[in-house]
Amino acid sequence: MIKVGIIGSTGYAGQELVRILLQHKEAQIIWYGSRSYSDKKYYEVYQNMFQLVDDHCMEEDMETLASQADLIFTATPQGYCASIMKEEILSNTKIIDLSADYRLKDIDVYEKWYGINHASPQFLKEAVYGLPELNRESIKNARLIANPGCYPTCSILSIYPLLKEGIIDPDSIIIDAKSGTSGAGRGAKVSNLYCEVNENIKAYGVASHRHTPEIEEQLSSVAGQVVQLSFTPHLVPMNRGILITAYALLKHEISYEEVRQIYDSYYRKEFFVRVLDKGICPETRWVEGSNYVDINFVLDPRTKRIVILGAMDNLVKGAAGQAVQNMNIMFGLEETEGLKLVPIFP
């Protein structure tokens, strides 16, 4: 049994980790870390956990937890994990960090886009970007996993096979993304109040969203050249879900069957990536509550572009589900353990 601690267990991603791990046959949660709700029973924070979790929330004491747990999930704001990371901690346990602290290899890029100093850059080289479909072998032996962001996960998985195969122009990529409000976290913010979000859709972080360099770094690695793209996220009045629509110029004329063969060759054996039937566009309602990413594409011969679409649950494959998927790989378990979650509808 893997002894697991969660730092930041009372945020949305943290609570999703608890929900998934309670169904996991090989994991036991031994620490529900929460700075805001220390000494409060976990079910008093999330009533859905009544009679399921009787534990109290505990202080976020990484050093003590590292001596007790086989793995620690840090579902915390940017900067926290980097500020407490030490070799002594990594010598005693494994870490899966759900923040952006170790996703970007260039410290200058991190500090520019996130506006904070990186407190432990010595671990950047070691940290593995935890996107299993790309980095499964590296994840197996990692001590420190940088769990990908939600927008990057959906964007990269939707686009990268075509980029890897040289089908699209790397300089032509535009990503239009939509997300539910849970992506902004559980903190009280005026912009996330019901009256501010309901009956509205708005763009934010235009030409400045901090997931941009993460997407660019990973796609640049795939393409073997620098990729610069336009990324614009939008907030929509729903709890969960991400939908991305990406546009790219085709390098040459190509048929539907040829593009489909590319996607099938990359994802045929990937349990959590579903390439949909021809003409079916991904929708967030068909992935909600699950670890699936639904992908499809449409060729537009008139503009010589391809339109690529992806949908997933931002709290599952975009956060907690992917983190558990990484844990399974790190400990040599069946990758789908605890994650065969049927999407919820309606």
Instruction: Name all domains of the chain by residue range, CATH numbers in brackets.
Output: 2-126 (3.40.50.720), 151-314 (3.30.360.10)
> Could you say which of 57, 81, 150, 154 is catalytic?
150
Q: How confident is the chain (346 residues) per 10-residue block, as mean pLDDT?
A: 97 98 98 95 98 96 95 97 96 98 97 97 98 98 98 98 98 98 85 90 97 98 97 97 98 98 98 98 98 98 98 98 98 98 96
Report how far apart, in Å, the C-alpha atoms of 89 and of each of 65, 99, 123, 143 are.
Answer: 9, 17, 12, 10
Q: Are 98 and 30 in contact (CB under 8 A)?
A: no
C-alpha torsion angle, residues 91, 97, 1, 46 (rounded to 10): 140
Torsion sign, CA atoms 248, 109, 295, 186 = negative
Asked if the peptide bond before residue 343 counts as cis, ω within 30 degrees of 0, the response is no
What per-residue confidence (pLDDT) applies to 1? 96
User: What single string gives the DSSP state of each residue in 160-185?
Assistant: HHHHHTT-B-GGG-EEEEEE-GGGG-
What per-residue confidence (pLDDT) applies to 187? 78
What per-residue confidence (pLDDT) applies to 186? 84
What per-residue confidence (pLDDT) applies to 185? 86
Tokens for 223? 């393409």
What per-residue confidence (pLDDT) applies to 205? 96
Please indicate whether residue 281 is annotated as part of the active site: no
User: What single string gives the DSSP state of each residue in 275-341?
Assistant: EPPTTPPP-GGGTTTSS-EEEEEEEETTTTEEEEEEEE-TTIIIIIHHHHHHHHHHTT--TTTTT--
Give the relative orientation of helices 321-330 and 12-21 as an angle to the nearest 10 degrees: 50
What per-residue confidence (pLDDT) applies to 191? 82
| 208: helix, strand or coil | coil
